[in-house]
Amino acid sequence: MASDHNSEQVQRWMEDVAKQKVPQTKLIFDRETKSLISVPIGDQKNGDKVLEFTPQEATRFASIRSTLHLPGTTS
Amino acid sequence: MVMLLSTWSREQQIRLAWEENLLRAEMPHFQFNNRATFGNTTVNGSYTSTANNSYSLAVWLKAGFPHQAPGLYVTSPMPLYGHNGRAIQSYGTSHFMHVWESDWNTYVKICHWRDDNWSASYTIVSVIMKGLLWLEALEAHRRTGRKIDSYSLTY
């Protein structure tokens, strides 16, 4: 669900990261509502229903390739 | 000599299958299209922003995938407008707007990772995540007039 507050919080997160400040919130993508949401850093709710924006997410493939023996591991 | 292949290699097919499974788990509203068409497979889906505006995104997996970065495009709305009604397409390649000159149907082509920073370890889901951030940055740009690189696409 869209809200002005959430929109502002998402924008602030993106500004803070661009300025290399430590963000006060984290970004998650809620798979059920298909929406981007800013939540407090420590929020653990719906952990299995959301996709979190973390550096580890971008490189998920690298983290599992050794166990799955999948191609495409170098750039 | 350049060898042209007409089908995805076995390794590429394995990788595409893995990507499709990951996409189904993480972003099931995005779908693979032309899955068997070498160099012309796309992943398409829509996103409703936090300000409640709808967009369509497409990821184009070119022949060199995963070693070649896929293209990330906004396919709707077209044209795509920024601050003061200026079309994003009019910027061509712009570092400040995180866009490349379009190479597909004049769709806005988002710069997600520069080619020299791209790694075959990056997933299609992670490319789409950057697309969602770019769209949020676009809306902030429309409101404030600040360039899109004022907002981080890195997470």
Tens of pLDDT, residues A18-39: 998 888 899 999 998 999 999 9
CA-CA distance, B101 to B99, in Å (whole number)?
7
User: In this structure, what DSSP letter does residue A16 have?
Assistant: H
CA-CA distance, A9 to A5, in Å (whole number)?
6
**B1: pLDDT strictly greater than 60:** no
Residue reference for tokens 């719906």: A46
Find the mean pLDDT for residues B100-106.
96
* A20 domain residue, yes or no: yes
What ipTM describes this predicted complex? 0.83
* A74 domain residue, yes or no: no
CB contact under 8 Å between A70 and B15, yes or no, is yes
More confident residue, B57 or A17: B57
* A39 domain residue, yes or no: yes
CB contact under 8 Å between A62 and B47, yes or no, is no
SS (H, E, C) chain B: CCCCCCCCCHHHHHHHHHHHHHHHHHCCCCEEECCCCCCCEEEEEEEECCCCCEEEEEEEECCCCCCCCCEEEEEECCCCECHHHCEHHHHCCECCCCEECCCCCCCEEECCCCHHHCCCCCCHHHHHHHHHHHHHHHHHHHHHCCCHHHCCCCC
pLDDT at B35: 87
Q: Which range marks the domain in which residue A60 is found?
A: 4-68
Q: A residues 7-66 near B, CB within 8 Å?
A: 7, 10-11, 14-18, 27, 29, 31, 34-37, 51, 53-55, 57-62, 65
CA-CA distance, B137 to A36, in Å (whole number)?
13
**B59: pLDDT strictly greater than 60:** yes
Indicate the residue of A10, A18, A68 with minimum beta-carbon distance to B136.
A10
Q: CA angle at residue A26 from B28 to B74, to 5 degrees?
A: 45
Which residues, other chains included, contact B20 with Cβ-Cβ below 8 Å and sequence gap of 6+?
Answer: B32, B35
Separation in Å, CA A2 to CA A6, A51, B24? 7, 18, 24
Domains in chain B (CATH in brackets) are 10-150 (3.10.110.10)
Give how far B119 is from chain A: nearest CA, Å: 4
Q: What is the pLDDT of residues A37-73, one digit of tens each?
A: 999 988 877 677 899 998 888 778 777 665 555 555 5
* A46 domain residue, yes or no: yes
* A41 domain residue, yes or no: yes
CA nearest A48 in B: which residue?
A: B26
CB contact under 8 Å between B150 and A11, yes or no, is no
Q: What is the pLDDT of residues B65-102, one digit of tens each?
A: 999 999 999 999 999 999 999 999 999 999 999 999 99
- Written as one letter, the residue type at A17 is V
Chain A residues inside the 8 Å CB shell of B51? 2, 7
Q: In total, how many domains does chain A have?
A: 1
Q: Whole-number mean pLDDT of chain B? A: 93
**A75: pLDDT strictly greater than 50:** no
* A33 domain residue, yes or no: yes
How much is the pTM? 0.91
| Helices and strands of chain A, counted as H and E runs | 3, 3
Give how far A37 is from chain B: nearest CA, Å: 8
CA-CA distance, B17 to B4, in Å (whole number)?
22
User: In this structure, what DSSP letter does residue A22 have?
Assistant: P
Indicate the residue of B67, B129, B137 with minimum beta-carbon distance to A57.
B129
Q: How many CB pairs under 8 A join A and B?
A: 115
Mutate one of B54, B148, B152 to test the A interface: name it (highest A CB count within 10 A).
Answer: B152
CB contact under 8 Å between B18 and A51, yes or no, is no
Mutate one of A7, A67, A69 to test the B interface: name it (highest B CB count within 10 A).
Answer: A7
* A75 domain residue, yes or no: no
* A44 domain residue, yes or no: yes
Q: How many CB atoms lie within 10 A of CB A30?
A: 15
